[in-house]
């Protein structure tokens, strides 16, 4: 895609020469890309700028995504296409009511400042995409600092906007980039966690499908303005994907300001509640299939992990029916999407341990099982920023005496089983099958097992399950609470 048409070639060359001259002035005589100065002598205006010493303070924040349970994510763009492309892109964003964040190369802003000004005038954000989008891995600290600083200077000079965030062309960067960003007083170095790979020239529909598949709370979508023209047409699909799940596209700074920072694992109380313990032979455990109670109470539980679209819909349905549940999480999924686990907690639900890698526990040695469960405990704890409920559910519901003792010794003496299952994980079981199974099998104190996997019929069945049981007079209680209430009632008798 040509950036400038032939009839504008002369003005373009003049603007580029002006931009280059301005950058040279800002450099104070240094080479354009942080190289050798034109002269090693003299004290005039073309004398070499002093070499920038490496910053020794704390590096800036690094943001691949924002830690938040809010239904928000940011749409960001790299580079700066020609005027026609950028105008069309901004018009499309306006049509869908989206405010985006544009990471602009300083040189392009110097060449065509009117484009950058138009982006700001439409209510979008401008941030730093470095001066020339060079590979930072090939530069020393002095050069990295100047690539970022000069882009800041140009953007501020031409638009009045002062960049707070910096991103490299690829999103990858060496350790000197966060140091230089901190040196310059910037808020963060930003990468992304949703990359539709528009550089591979996918169609607008394919870009939209990718975003829909990987959309996440606190996510940062990264696309390019100067490579694939289909990016413009993809905006409608991205907007529809967010709307379908009930998520809002906001500017990067708004996302960051609304989000939080995760404490390191070791600072969270209860992070070490699960520990490797080879001395397990005498450990005591309890298998809980249901709770012996006279109350018409049941515990609704969900196993495994799913996409934002699936899990958010489950959370929405539970909220609509004022039901609290217990989620047994496959921690490998939590590791890649901690915000979704945090959303469960903020919704008033309990989260518990369903292993890290979802093995059949009897296929592991006791030591391997303990290692898997401790890893899962730590991943879940760090994701939700608090200790999870100390219940463990074995994948497939299979456990033997030796593994149960190993689980108890590691810190999980209560093994949470279930008495109501409809095999909803099997896509051949329809929503009607799931509803009928739950309604037929549920009794006082039942523990109902469902799954939060994608592409099964559980979501279709869930409203009827909740309404049907509530219609029969049942109330829903989190599993740990139901067990505790029954224990307290028994002790009082």
The encoded tokens of residue 170 equal 């690829």
State the Cα–Cα distance between residues 158 and 117, nearest whole angstrom. 8
Say whether both 151 and 221 belong to one domain: yes
- The whole-model pTM stands at 0.89
| 334 in any annotated domain | yes
Q: What is the DSSP letter of 357?
A: S
| Pair 245, 367 in one domain | no
> Of 258, 276, 301, which marks where a domain is finished?
258
Q: Which residue has the tokens 């559910």?
A: 393
Of 303, 304, 350, 424, the active-site residue reads 303
DSSP, collapsed to helix, strand or coil, labels residue 491 as: helix
Answer yes or no: 243 catalytic. Answer: no
Q: Are 156 and 283 members of one domain?
A: no
User: Within 10 Å of residue 427's Cβ, how many Cβ atoms?
Assistant: 10
- Domain final residue pick, 258, 281, 307: 258
Q: Is residue 75 part of a domain?
A: yes
pLDDT of the residue at 474: 98
Dihedral sign from CA coordinates of 277, 282, 287, 291: negative
In a shared domain, residues 206 and 283:
no
Same domain, 292 and 377: yes
Q: Which residues of the chain are modeled with pLDDT < 70?
A: 1-48, 489-493
Domain interval for residue 429? 266-492
Within this chain, do residues 229 and 327 fall inside the same structural domain, yes or no?
no
Same domain? 208 vs 337: no
Tens-place pLDDT, residues 372-407: 999 999 999 999 999 999 999 999 999 999 999 999
**Which residues of 293-398 form beta strands (DSSP E)?**
297-304, 326-329, 350-353
Q: How far is CA 119 from CA 87, 161, 235, 285, 492, in A?
A: 9, 11, 16, 62, 68
Contacts of 159 (CB under 8 A, 6+ apart): 109, 113, 116, 117, 120, 126
- Evaluate whether residue 288 is within a structural domain: yes
Do the bridges between strand 61-63 and strand 188-190 make them parallel or antiparallel, or are there none, so unpaired?
A: parallel
In a domain, 134, yes or no: yes
Residues 302 and 370 in one domain: yes
Q: Let me know the angle formed at the C-alpha of 221 by 358 and 380, rounded to the nearest 5 degrees.
A: 30
Among 258, 281, 312, the domain-final residue is: 258
CATH number at residue 479: 3.20.20.370
107 and 243 assigned to the same domain: yes
**Cα separation, 202 vs 237, whole angstroms:** 13
Write down the pLDDT at residue 16.
55
What confidence tens digit (pLDDT) does each residue in 431-459 have? 999 999 999 999 999 999 999 999 999 99
3 state SS of 299: strand
Q: How many folded domains does the chain comprise?
A: 2
Same domain, 249 and 388: no
Which H or E run contains 188?
strand 188-190
- Return the structure tokens found at 144: 């990295």
Whether residue 45 is contained in a domain is answered as no
Are 347 and 254 within one domain? no
Task: Count the neighbouring beta carbons within 10 Å of the beta carbon of residue 481.
Answer: 15
Q: Is 303 a catalytic residue?
A: yes
Pair 231, 308 in one domain: no
Is residue 462 in a domain?
yes
């Amino acid at each position: 895609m040509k950036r400038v048409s032939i009839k504008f070639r002369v003005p373009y060359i003049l603007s580029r020469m002006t931009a280059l001259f301005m950058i040279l002035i800002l450099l104070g005589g240094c080479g354009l890309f942080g190289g050798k100065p034109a002269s090693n002598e003299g004290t005039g205006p073309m004398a070499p700028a002093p070499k920038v010493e490496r910053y020794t303070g704390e590096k800036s924040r690094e943001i691949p995504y924002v830690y938040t349970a809010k239904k928000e994510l940011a749409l960001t763009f790299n580079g700066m296409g020609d005027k026609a492309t950028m105008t069309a892109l901004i018009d499309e964003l306006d049509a869908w009511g989206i405010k985006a964040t544009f990471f602009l190369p300083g040189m392009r802003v110097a060449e065509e400042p009117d484009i950058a000004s138009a982006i700001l005038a439409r209510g979008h954000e401008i941030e730093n995409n470095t001066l020339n989008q060079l590979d930072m891995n090939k530069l020393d600290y002095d050069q990295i600092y100047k690539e970022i600083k000069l882009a800041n200077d140009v953007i501020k000079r031409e638009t009045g906007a002062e960049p707070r965030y910096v991103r490299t062309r690829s999103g990858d960067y060496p350790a000197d980039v966060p140091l230089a960003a901190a040196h310059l007083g910037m808020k963060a170095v930003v990468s992304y966690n949703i990359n539709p790979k528009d550089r591979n020239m996918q169609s607008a529909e394919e870009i939209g499908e990718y975003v829909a598949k990987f959309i996440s709370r606190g996510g940062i979508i990264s696309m390019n303005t100067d490579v694939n023209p289909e990016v413009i047409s993809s905006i409608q699909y991205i907007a529809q994907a967010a709307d379908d799940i009930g998520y809002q596209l906001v500017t990067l700074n708004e996302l960051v300001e609304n989000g939080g920072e995760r404490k390191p694992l070791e600072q969270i109380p209860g992070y070490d509640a699960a520990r490797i313990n080879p001395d397990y032979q005498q450990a005591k455990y309890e298998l809980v299939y249901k709770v012996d109670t006279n109350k018409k109470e049941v515990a609704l539980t969900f196993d495994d992990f799913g996409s934002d679209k699936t899990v958010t819909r489950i959370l929405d349905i539970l909220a609509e029916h004022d039901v609290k549940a217990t989620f047994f999480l496959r921690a490998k999924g939590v590791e890649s999407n901690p915000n979704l686990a945090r959303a469960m907690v903020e919704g008033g639900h309990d989260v518990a341990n369903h292993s890290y890698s979802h093995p059949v526990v009897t296929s592991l040695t006791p030591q391997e099982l303990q290692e898997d469960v401790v890893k899962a405990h730590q991943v879940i704890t760090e994701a939700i920023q608090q200790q999870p409920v100390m219940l463990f559910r074995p994948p497939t519901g299979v456990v033997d005496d030796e593994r149960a003792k190993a689980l108890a010794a590691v810190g999980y003496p209560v093994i949470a089983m279930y008495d109501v299952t409809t095999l909803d994980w099997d896509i051949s079981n329809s929503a009607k099958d799931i509803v009928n199974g739950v309604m037929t099998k549920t009794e006082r104190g039942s523990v109902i097992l469902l799954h939060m996997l994608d592409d099964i019929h559980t979501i279709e069945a869930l409203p009827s399950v909740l309404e049907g049981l509530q219609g029969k007079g049942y109330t829903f209680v989190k599993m740990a609470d139901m067990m505790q209430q029954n224990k307290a009632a028994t002790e009082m008798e």
